[in-house]
Amino acid sequence: MPSKPFTPKVITANALLEGDVVYLTGDNWTRDLSKAEILTDEADADLRLIEASAQSDKVVGVYLADVTVNGSVPVPVHFREDFRAKGPSNYAHGKQEQF
């Protein structure tokens, strides 16, 4: 049985000290999904995931999240990732104020 084709992904985690959702850029972490590095190659994504996971002094819970690409901007595929990108839902503060 053939394996599923690799779909675009971003690397996401939670900031160790603040707990905020963060995304890996080319060389750093951002709280803005639109600035995340879009990974389209499976081997590259696996390598970047290993590198990101090694940053345990900055982040926890590192994983690959599926996205689609609208122009050059990553858009969450799953409800969970859309929810995480918008921030806390208990009241409007932080990222939630933008929506």
Q: What pLDDT is recorded for position 98?
A: 57
For 66, the 3-state DSSP assignment is strand
Neighbouring residues of 56: CB distance < 8 A, sequence distance ≥ 6 = 16
Q: How confident is the model at residue 73, as a pLDDT? A: 95
State the pLDDT at residue 86. 84
SS3 label, residue 72: coil
* Confidence class for position 91, pLDDT limits 50, 70, 90: low
Entry pTM? 0.85
> 75 exposed, middle or buried (CB, 10 Å; 0-12, 13-18, 19+)?
middle
2 pLDDT exceeds 80? no
pLDDT one-digit tens code per residue, 24-71: 999 999 999 999 999 999 999 999 999 999 999 999 999 999 999 999
92 has a pLDDT exceeding 90: no
23 pairs with which residues across the strands?
Answer: 12, 30
Whether 88 and 94 have beta carbons less than 8 Å apart is answered as yes
